[in-house]
Amino acid sequence: MSTVLGLRAWNMAFLGPVEIWYFSVFYLSLATQFQVPILSALALVVSLMLYEAWGVLVNDIYDREVDLAAGKSGVRRGHTLDPRLMWGLALAAAAASWALVLATDPTPVLVATWLVAYSLGILYSVPPFRFKNRGLLSLVCNSVLERPLPVLIIFLFFRYYGLETILFPILSELVWSVFKHQVHDYDEDLKANVRTYAVQIGRSLSYSIVRFVINPLGVLSVLAFAAAAAIKVPEYSSVFLASLGITVVGVAVLLILERLTLVYTDPLDPPYMLFLDFSFLVTVILALATIVLVRQPTYLPLVALFILSLIPHLRYYLPMLGTVIHKVAA
């Protein structure tokens, strides 16, 4: 039982790309003046968590040999469990997710979008399709699966059809692109002969794309989200304008320190990107959650769930930012 409970799939479901889910749910709750009851909003978030867990479980089932070759084999990936048990857990997660989806009276378009999401999850991980090993196709498929499709599902769930319905799914991928994950795993994937897009185009070009394209677009995307919140909630626009200012100043200062070689720079996650992620969580999403709670106290369970997911993120970012500050002060 402890092995099952310790699977990384549950951790990813709670801490994976959820930050952008919460931003979208809080944003749309305010935009629609809380037309979606709290129980339905909770069902949406939990159904997305179960969908994330399902995807990780299926991926870990078919990555056993690859992970072993890459040196990533381990208990948390379920490699010590019978594949039939892993499939049972995956199917249970999917069934529970679909039960919540169908319990909220979804539109046909929403159901179709959910079907697309689950179908792409199969195509990405399961042979003979195995898009994960097909270069550019692996990037496109995984990119759509992690953030854009769930964000689109959230918009369809709230029945909100505006410019943001198109813009937010795109921006959500740019905040933390799947391509960065592929580059992070470059050596392991190369060793295991997994032909991701990063492996296909090579280390040098991949790192250049992250440094000069992906990371700058991530900054612009976070600023766009903060600006959208300021426009959507005009009476609290000063809060989000302050978020914009804090983010711009923090990123600019750390970029200058990086250029002066006063801070250690990771080519994939330089200090300014760590600060950007931290700022988005604390000054934008947390602010949005607080406004939601003030306006609609019944949303407390959803805000509490977000706070719980925030704690591990803070444990990750604060020591890193503290190290940067200590080095600069020294």
- pLDDT tens digit string along 201-227? 999 999 999 999 999 999 999 999 999
Of residues 31 and 5, the one with the higher pLDDT is: 31
- Structural domain that includes position 38: 2-329
Q: What is the pLDDT of residue 262?
A: 63
**Among all chains, which residue has been given the structure tokens 């039939």?**
84
Query: Which token pair is 18?
Result: 């959820």
Q: What backbone torsions phi and psi does residue 27 show, to the nearest 5 degrees?
A: -60, -50
Q: What is the mean pLDDT of residues 187-196?
A: 85
Q: Residue 113, SS3?
A: helix
List CB contacts of 207: < 8 A, sequence separation 6 or more.
183, 267, 268
104 pLDDT tier (thresholds 50, 70, 90): very high
Count of the separate structural domains present in the chain: 1
Lowest mean pLDDT among 220-229, 256-265, 287-296: 256-265
Asked whether 290 and 26 are in contact (CB, 8 A), the reply is no
User: Tell me, what amino acid is at 245?
Assistant: G
Provide the mean pLDDT of the chain.
89
Q: What backbone torsions phi and psi does residue 71 show, to the nearest 5 degrees?
A: 80, 20
**Among all chains, which residue has been given the structure tokens 């909770």?**
42
Q: What is the pLDDT of residue 205?
A: 95
- Please, how many CA atoms are within 13 Å of residue 58, restricted to the half-sphere of its CB? 23
List CB contacts of 157: < 8 A, sequence separation 6 or more.
36, 44, 104, 106, 110
Of residues 265 and 19, the one with the higher pLDDT is: 19
Q: What backbone torsions phi and psi does residue 86 show, to the nearest 5 degrees?
A: -60, -40
The pLDDT of residue 324 is above 90 = no
Any idea what the Cα angle at residue 180 is, between residues 178 and 181, rounded to 5°? 65
Q: What is the pLDDT of residues 122-155, one digit of tens each?
A: 999 998 898 988 888 989 999 999 899 999 999 9
Q: What is the mean pLDDT of residues 263-285?
A: 84
Q: What is the pLDDT of residue 323?
A: 67
In order of 15, 39, 192, 279, the CA distances from 273 in angstroms are 18, 35, 29, 10
CB atoms within 10 A of CB 26: 27
Q: What is the pLDDT of residue 132?
A: 87
Q: What is the mean pLDDT of residues 50-77?
A: 84
* Residue 196 β-bridge partners: 135
Separation CA 249–CA 167 (nearest Å):
25
In order of 137, 184, 190, 199, the CA distances from 203 in angstroms are 18, 10, 10, 7
29 pLDDT tier (thresholds 50, 70, 90): very high
Distance of CA 145 to the CA centre of its chain: 10
How many residues appear in the chain? 330
Q: What is the pLDDT of residue 193?
A: 83
CB atoms within 10 A of CB 32: 12
Q: How far apart are the first and last CA of the chain?
A: 48
Of residues 60 and 156, the one with the higher pLDDT is: 156
Asked whether 284 and 23 are in contact (CB, 8 A), the reply is yes
Q: What is the pLDDT of residues 81-95, one digit of tens each?
A: 888 999 999 999 999
